[in-house]
Structure 1
């Protein structure tokens, strides 16, 4: 499973280049007809074959996308709330109707099984549904007679052109954390999705157009750092939303904020799951396996560290091993598959390297995913099965780094306080969970832990769309989380108005304005 041609191979003898798909930008309501000078390859992770190419944006493409969004902004800003919500409702119905098609697109380029892909679309749809309620969410405040015949009120107004830069692991859901709320608030949007799995974003753009969204309100720009920097530095882009690794999140935040833009940059994670001695260990083992290995561990909310409080370590490890042994690994389009391949060969190899380094640094390799059989294995896919490193300590690379793959680290501690110290000393603060039947311990945990999203007997505590998603510490740069009311506030700015209308019948001065309406 570890051999094969290099990831950056430009020729695949098993497939005629003329049959490969080519993905291009979506600008001003249609696919871009400009031929990109630079391109990237799109792989089928299950086979390792090149499935297509994607055009990379040049500075001129960035300018064109932003210009289209800027030109569309005045008309969309002034569109009535009723008009916006009608389009949002139509878009929701189209997404629902095409959910299966989108899941297949995502699975073919990302590698996750189609049920996982359908699940991410469902979570994205929740944000669309939340955005359908925008007339209520945009209501301002009003105070009558703050002074004699003087009223004061506030209104929420859109920013203008806003951009989203999103990762490969959720090519539909993460963009849908951003653009439904931004567009509902009256902004226009430029999306820069991952170049590894770009097709879903273009299909979503087509559905927006079918729903009646005016040209230029939603644009898709593919590429690499050239496209990212172009958006970060463009004077007409007013705000940037980002999800990805912490080093890049810091760069996004510093670069965009230096240019006076609003930024919400969600960074990396090292999510801990604490298992107390009184926990239901069957429930905890189920949770550790599903949250650690779902979508091949390529989730920002994946559980990557299980903190087992003595004396449950051995029993919990046995139960995790039993469940891992029953997992079926295979291509995303095989209904039997419960976990697919990783997204690229380089990423698979990097993730697998932590198994060796973990052992070298003193951990025990309890389950080696490199030996996992694959259902109906085809070609030279990017496979790595569920892996577990036991007796991990915080100074090991497998603990310190965000692996972003199907490697679960088990840290054993003597007490609840020791478990809290482990979490507190970690630089990330994205998500965490505790498994216990003690309500007092759970309440203490949620109060004390310095993490933005907390699960109690829930392993992946992703908030519903009407709450907001985001971490603490090195997992967030900026002060706004995604979707929910924080998303509405991020994509709007408040204007305070103080008004006096002079009324001659009350002794005011008549300035010549009509008094009958």
Structure 2
């Protein structure tokens, strides 16, 4: 393994504002930059980060292509050594990185620490897959013939990551990509460039060879260039349905392999026999944790009319106890949204629901207080609305919950499955029969019974159905079905 690279650990160090191409921190060819601002405090400018275009992308793809043969030739067991070293370094730098996530993305410091822990769990799990990443032997039809299957890395991959989990989601792309033998270009969201630079620096410190992992900072131009470059064999994307669809369509003419994790409009069903207190706890966590900015966030509570009033009374009381504030304030329970565009989108969704006849039961406005810096703060909001309203059908990605009446279990299941998305489904019930029937009937990829509908394990598939997912899952052993392709061989002796 190459020696550990010593770097300035100041998270605002100039090199972290650049691209990382072929083992070097370099500015974009255009010289253009983008300002990065703390969503909890507009007066806190984190820095100016390089803004890349097609030329920079081509340089990164060329570097990844040049490094591919030697990296793929190492084999998964030797490649896993780098992941294990990255996990060790991440453990040492966990608090530093969590603080940067909070400053840049806005989430509570406790949530940021949990994200770093999740990223390290993904590294450890992925490294452990090195000794199982093989094929099978099968009987041959011919005499004196040995038949078997094996995996081979697909080549150079582009990893396009979102801002809501700016460390964990890139990690669950980078780790399996590298273990499989692919070389990679990571393009993070332009809203969280510093967090992604820290992730790449961890791998640099771990000694990953030049060109194996590259970082391109930028927005639409960089993403389009990755889709268009013929040397990119696959793109793993997490983000919105329209962008994911555009990536898939843009590469379809050359049969570009895509793995797309898209939106969600997730329901929690609260049955007439539910433990209402536990359901309220789960909804508070699922709908308002991280200000609702999760693909698996609870954005609909489908509540049996017999327990609706009790549920709403307890839910609104709980929300009244939660302080909205900066992520680094220990008293804050709900963080800001990531930028003014998400702030406006949340407020517009609430106003639209009211125009359609929805009733705002709490919140509904921007949070403004004398003790609060100017930032992207939205009050936790509950809207009682119809199942087919826009608020109940379309993703908001903010701290806004639609509460929908259900007349019995079957009705609740129909409402839950009425949306185009299928990321997560949750039910609260005392009935074992209902629980198993719900698991069978939910049109969603990740299912929960009597627990919050958010969160997942590093070794379980992170996957949706319907318009929430295209291609193999992320996390879990199944992720390697994206980064590798199957081959078969027959040897006559």
Which category describes the TM-score, using the shorter chain as reference length? over 0.9
Aligned equivalents of 1:429, 1:382: Cα separation in 2: 28
Q: Please say if residues 244 and 262 of structure 2, whose CA atoms lie closer than 8 Å, have aligned partners that are also in contact.
A: yes
Give, in angstroms, the shift of residue 369 of structure 1: 4.6
Match of 2:200 in 1: 205
1:96-495 equivalences under 5 Å are 96-143=91-138, 146-370=141-365, 372=367, 376-378=371-373, 380-390=374-384, 392-477=385-470, 479-495=471-487
Give, in angstroms, the shift of residue 99 of structure 1: 1.2
The TM-score, its normalising length taken from structure 2, stands at 0.94
Change (3 A) 1:188 1:214: same
Q: Please say if residues 20 and 51 of structure 1, whose CA atoms lie closer than 8 Å, have aligned partners that are also in contact.
A: no
Q: For structure 2, list consecutive stretches of 5 or more residues without a partner in the other structure.
A: 1-11
Match of 2:37 in 1: 43
Q: Please say if residues 307 and 412 of structure 1, whose CA atoms lie closer than 8 Å, have aligned partners that are also in contact.
A: yes
- Is the partner of 1:232 in helix, strand or coil? helix
Aligned equivalents of 2:58, 2:284: Cα separation in 1: 45
- Is the partner of 1:140 in helix, strand or coil? coil
Q: Please say if residues 158 and 236 of structure 2, whose CA atoms lie closer than 8 Å, have aligned partners that are also in contact.
A: yes
Q: For structure 1, list consecutive stretches of 5 or more residues without a partner in the other structure.
A: 1-17, 502-517
The TM-score, its normalising length taken from structure 1, stands at 0.90
Give, in angstroms, the shift of residue 249 of structure 1: 1.3
Q: Please say if residues 140 and 154 of structure 1, whose CA atoms lie closer than 8 Å, have aligned partners that are also in contact.
A: yes
Match of 1:506 in 2: none
Q: Which has the larger radius of gyration?
A: 1
CA deviation profile, 1:253-309 (whole Å, cap 9, x unmatched) = 221233221101111110000000111111000111111001111111110000001
CA deviation profile, 1:290-347 (whole Å, cap 9, x unmatched) = 1100111111111000000121110000110111011122111112222211111122
Aligned equivalents of 2:129, 2:13: Cα separation in 1: 43
Q: Please say if residues 28 and 52 of structure 2, whose CA atoms lie closer than 8 Å, have aligned partners that are also in contact.
A: no
Change (3 A) 1:20 1:138: closer
Q: Please say if residues 157 and 235 of structure 2, whose CA atoms lie closer than 8 Å, have aligned partners that are also in contact.
A: yes
CA deviation profile, 1:121-179 (whole Å, cap 9, x unmatched) = 22222221121123333121123654211100111111110111111111011111211
Give, in angstroms, the shift of residue 480 of structure 1: 1.1
Match of 2:77 in 1: 82
Q: State the superposition RMSD in angstroms.
A: 1.8
Give, in angstroms, the shift of residue 39 of structure 1: 2.5
Match of 1:500 in 2: 492
- Is the partner of 1:112 in helix, strand or coil? coil
Q: Please say if residues 21 and 63 of structure 2, whose CA atoms lie closer than 8 Å, have aligned partners that are also in contact.
A: yes
Change (3 A) 1:80 1:20: closer
- Is the partner of 1:155 in helix, strand or coil? strand
- Is the partner of 1:370 in helix, strand or coil? coil
Give, in angstroms, the shift of residue 372 of structure 1: 4.8
Aligned equivalents of 1:473, 1:145: Cα separation in 2: 39
Aligned equivalents of 1:457, 1:29: Cα separation in 2: 48
Aligned equivalents of 1:385, 1:312: Cα separation in 2: 25
